[in-house]
Amino acid sequence: MKDRNGVCVLLEAHVRAHSTAVLLAKVAIIKFNKQARRRGGIKERQ
């Protein structure tokens, strides 16, 4: 029972960090896609 609280805090911090990383990645991808479309599309590069 002692460790449970510490583990919960660690897990919560990990989940929070992970979700922020995912959010930032999504925002970055959306921004990149918008910029790529303005420059002439992603199709040409692939």
Per-residue 3-state assignment (H helix, E strand, C coil) for the chain: CHHHHHHHHHHHHHHHHHHHHHHHHHHHHHHHHHHHHHHCCCCCCC
pLDDT of res. 1: 47
Write the pLDDT tens digit of every residue in 2-31: 566 778 888 889 899 999 999 999 999 999
User: Which region holds residue 40: left if phi is over 0, alpha if psi is between -120 and 50, else beta?
Assistant: left
Predicted TM-score (pTM) above 0.85: no
